[in-house]
A and B are shown apart, each in its own frame.
Chain A
């Protein structure tokens, strides 16, 4: 058997096992909207842990961390830093959100905005922005998948057919399985990726330099500047590090899919406990980092840093290991891609179409519509991933800064009663406009500071001052506040 065939067979087998595992769990349950999108709010500590790990540790953490370590060096530390601090932030934000979600049947981020601010247009606005930022993120996962498949097949399979096949698989998976299927696959994915990261993180430096320590000694001797900030970059220094870590850790759970996944938990306590132990999981990223640094010594001069990990693995191990790593990596793309797809479809049908165009739609109709939208979104993303354009890359850059602009609306909404719909709307608009202007005109980092954090400060300021100047909401208007959610909850006239 040719090495490419062997490696690819193993990769495909792992993906197939994952898909069967997920779907077999899902077919045994009835899948209404509540089950499909938030798993009936019944996920215990282990499943929620794996689901959250599943959506946060994506192909970016696998190919991207090693790619950054390879091509940029020191600044890569920001990824380990922000993931840890994101869990610290989630400790305070997710449990109260979950309580509200349980009480009012919230399923999405836009649901929260619509409920808290009593304004379905604000909900639809936040939902649409969320989808806009999630689509390039989804496309990134698909591109990563394409890279993995073509590398494990020793370039025998092109990226386009690889992406096409995986999109088809993804669609069936999300269409039929919903969030529970995704959570099940996360179990396999996490076991594999942990094992893979440890194996190559220890193995690759060992094969070439006889250990992690000697590898770093060698790198420090040859390229000492590569190991600190700004590394191989011109402008990613300490101010950039502090502002980006802050931005990304505040924004991590503002991604609509991460936000929505917290509603799947069985209790607020589960989420809080989860936030305490999650940072341990981040240690595995360090091993991916070791591979990236080794690759900088062993295979210098690659045009695309994202290929560093797979290239160095291919040079160091027999093909079956490459196949195994490829399978783990492919699941690492499929799990978050499924959650992104599912969240986008739910947001679009539930928070955009229903409140604005079809007020009387029942939940089962929403569930059906969401599935149709899954298919449509998959086709759009397939097109985008195959024809990947430069504007999409800038949209992705904007995405990280963009979702963070929801932070004031979420947190002030949770803890400050004066926060108003007008304040949040103008705040988000200011934040997004500032971020878009700075990033799309190549002014990021702005004077060494991440553009998103400047936008976030302005956003906070506007949200606060507009809220203070608008009329305080009193108890009577609470009736209106909740009426926008009447579709979710059996309507009894409130008199």
Chain B
């Protein structure tokens, strides 16, 4: 059970009370990382009518499939930047 018995009720009640307006809400993510997350949503989802076609073929794949796969591979790149932004914000407070 390890950590469970360390969570004494008074301690966590206290934690909850000093945590963001007395409630169990969390700190919202930063606008920068939300914006970064919007990029894959745009390339993969919202712009579908711009890239959903067969020609021209790219690397032997129909255009829509090639575009989608390209966007999927690019997604971790944007999220890695978001990761750095969020980690930096966390670092200012307690380390999880």
Contacts and interface: CB of A to CB of B under 8 A. Distances in A.
Nearest to B15: A103
Contact of A88 (B8, B37, B52, B65): B37
A280 B52 contact: no
12 contacts: A41-B3, A85-B41, A87-B79, A213-B60, A216-B60, A229-B48, A241-B45, A242-B46, A279-B75, A283-B69, A478-B17, A492-B8
Contact of B26 (A74, A96, A211, A213): A96
A280 B71 CA distance: 11
A360 interface: no
Interface string B5-19: 101111011011100
A217 B22 contact: no
Given A88-B75, A216-B60, A478-B16, 20 more contacts: A74-B64, A81-B44, A84-B40, A88-B79, A91-B33, A104-B12, A213-B59, A220-B62, A227-B54, A238-B49, A238-B52, A241-B45, A241-B48, A242-B46, A245-B44, A273-B83, A276-B82, A279-B76, A482-B16, A490-B8
A246 B15 CA distance: 35
Interface in A80-101: 80-81, 84-85, 87-88, 91-92, 95-96, 99-100
Given A272-B83, A280-B76, A92 B37 contact: yes
B53 A99 contact: no
Given A80-B72, A88-B79, A220 B54 contact: yes
B76 A81 contact: no
B78 to A, nearest CB: 8
B94 to A, nearest CB: 10
A41 B1 CA distance: 10
Given A104-B12, A492-B9, A268 B96 contact: yes
Contact of A489 (B9, B24, B61): B9
Interface size for chain A: under 10, 10 to 19, 20 to 34, or 35 or more residues?
35 or more
B17 A227 contact: no
Interface of B: 1-5, 7-10, 12-13, 15-17, 20-29, 33-34, 37, 40-41, 44-46, 48-49, 52-55, 57, 59-62, 64-65, 68-69, 71-73, 75-76, 79-80, 82-83, 86-87, 96
Contacts of A277: 76
B15 to A, nearest CB: 7
A444 interface: no
A286 interface: yes
A2 B66 CA distance: 41
Contacts of A489: 4, 7, 9, 12
A366 B16 CA distance: 27
Given A84-B44, A478-B23, A91 B82 contact: yes
A216 B61 CA distance: 7
Interface stretch (A145-153, A409-417, A455-463): A409-417
Given A84-B40, A105-B4, A241-B48, A478 B13 contact: yes
B73 A286 contact: no
A3 interface: no
A246 B82 CA distance: 20
A481 B24 CA distance: 10
B44 to A, nearest CB: 5
Shortest beta-carbon contacts, A-B, top 4: A213-B60, A96-B26, A475-B22, A417-B23
Contact of B79 (A99, A242, A275, A492): A275
Which of B4, B7, B45, B82 has the most chain A CB atoms closer than 10 A to its own CB?
A: B45
Interface string A370-411: 000000000000000000000000000000000000000000
A228 interface: yes
A437 B28 CA distance: 34
B72 A282 contact: yes
Contacts of A441: none
A214 B60 CA distance: 7
A30 B87 CA distance: 35
A34 B61 CA distance: 47
